Each structure stands twice: as C-alpha cells, then as structure tokens.
Amino acid sequence: MTKSSSVDLVTQTDQKVEQLIIQSVKEKFPTHRFIGEESVAAGESCVLTDAPTWIIDPIDGTTNFVHAFPFVAVSIGFSVNKQVEFGVVFSCLEDKMFTARRGKGAFCNGEPLQVSDQEDIKQSIIATEFGSSRDPDAVDRIFSSLRNVLCIPVHGVRGAGTAAINMCLVASGCVEAYYEIGIHVWDIAAGSLIVSEAGGVLMDVDGGPLDLMSRRIVAANSRTIAERIVREIDAFGPPRDDEPLRR
C-alpha cells in the first residue's frame, strides 16, 4: 500500500512487526510511550516528550523490502528527557546487530565499532538517499547538493536505501559520512547514538545541533568532514515530525 505518496510504501509486514515490538515492550514497561512509524501513519501523535519513549521503525528500507533489494533493517531507539539512551539496528539480511548505549560504546554483533579516521573529504565515500519526495523543487535541491558533494570531488557517493544502515556504515568506518533531508525520527533515533558512540559527530544540515524531529541530518566520522558537507548542502526544511499538520 502507499502512504503520503505513490512512492511512500508500507506493507503488512511493517505493520505486523511494529505491533509485535510495541506489544512485547508494553508487557514489560506499561507506562512507557511509543513513536512508531506505522502508528503515526495511522494517526497517533508524534511528539517527543521527556517520558521514556521507544522510537520504532519496524522496517527501514521498505522500498528495498518490496523489491527484494537486500538491505533492510529494524531500528529501535529509546529516549528519556529527549535524549537517546540506547539504540539497536538489526540489518536483517546481513544478520548484523548494531547496538549502542549512551557512554558505553557501539557494537556490531558484540564487536566494538569505530568510525573512519579519514579527515580528507577527497579521500572519502559519502552516503545519502534521494528520499520519498518527488516534488520537483525538492528533487532539484537534492540533486544540486548531490552534485556539489560529488564534485568536491569525493571518491564516491553511495546509498543502501535505508537511513539506519547508512548510519551503521558510518559507525563501521565504511563511509565517512551520511546526510539526508526528509528522513523521520524513527529512521535516525537508534542510528544517531550508534554513530556518536562509535566516535562520530551529528549535526543539522545547516551546521547547527542535530534536532531529531527536524527531518534533517549529517552524521560523520569527524567535525571536519561534517562541516565540509554542510557547505555543499542546499538546506531546506520539510514539515517537522512534530508539526501537527505534516501529513
């Protein structure tokens, strides 16, 4: 089925996985709150409060899932006082479980993760996505930023088709940075902690501090690389996740 547009997909599997996660967590933590992609699509509110909150993307990479393009993930972040305390991204087909707890490091299948130490953007690979907007003005701006980044020049630009896995690629040192405009809080909550606990940095595409609800992110191995990318991005602002009339 489709949601906000003909290219914004959802399957029964997305909905079932989200229900399964929420039901099983609720049994143990009945007072906790949830922000789940498919619950929000069904009309639930999407406001991040100070209360303990599970932020869930049941399938990150639904378009990949529908087409059998082999990168999909389950992403779960847990926040208290609007700060992510732990994050888990399971890259299902790679069978890789990425985990991070604030102040305790990031891991893949139990092995510690460390971002790349490459500080020369010209020796870097950058990950990004085209997103699910097909509004011509937004697409022009995404392409203009992409052209600017590619022509720095960088070694390459890649995209796995899932924000969560792109962020785990930053944490693993396979790419130096990931940026995107148009993602949602459930795409990045877990991945943001995994990147920072692997030694990386997070910022808004305008160089300010990351705002999980702003639908914009730069996640990089270093401030140098992040700020260099920020210089090339045409930063526009889609409706925020916590804006009541965003859908």
Ligand X SMILES: O=P([O-])([O-])O[C@@H]1[C@@H](O)[C@H](O)[C@@H](O)[C@H](O)[C@@H]1O
Question: Is there a catalytic annotation at residue 187?
Answer: yes
CA atoms within 13 A of residue 7's CA, in its CB half-sphere: 6
Nearer to ligand X, 182 or 200 (CB): 182
187 is in an annotated binding site: yes
117/169 Cα distance (integer angstroms)? 14
62 in contact with ligand X (CB under 6 A): yes
Mark 103-142 with x for binding to ligand X (rule: CB under 6 A) and - for no binding: --------------------------x-xx----------
- Beta partners for residue 202, in sequence order: 219
Taking the C-alpha atoms of residue 160 and residue 100, their distance in angstroms, rounded to an integer, is: 21
**Of the candidates 77, 182, 200, 238, which one interacts with ligand X according to CB under 6 A?**
182
Per the CB < 8 A criterion, the answer to whether 126 and 229 are in contact is yes
**Interface with ligand X (CB under 6 A), residue from 35, 36, 46, 60:** 60
Helix 185-197 crosses helix 163-172 at what angle (to 10 degrees)? 10
CB-based contact 167:191 (threshold 8 Å): yes
**Catalytic site includes residue 206:** no
Task: Kindly name the residue from 18, 38, 60, 129 that is annotated as catalytic.
Answer: 60
52 cis-preceded (ω within 30 degrees of 0): no
Selected range binding ligand X among 57-65, 118-126, 134-142, 170-178, rule: CB under 6 A = 57-65
* Catalytic residue list: 37, 57, 59-60, 62, 187
Report the interface residues with ligand X, using CB under 6 A. Answer: 37, 57, 59-62, 129, 131-132, 161-163, 180, 182-184, 187
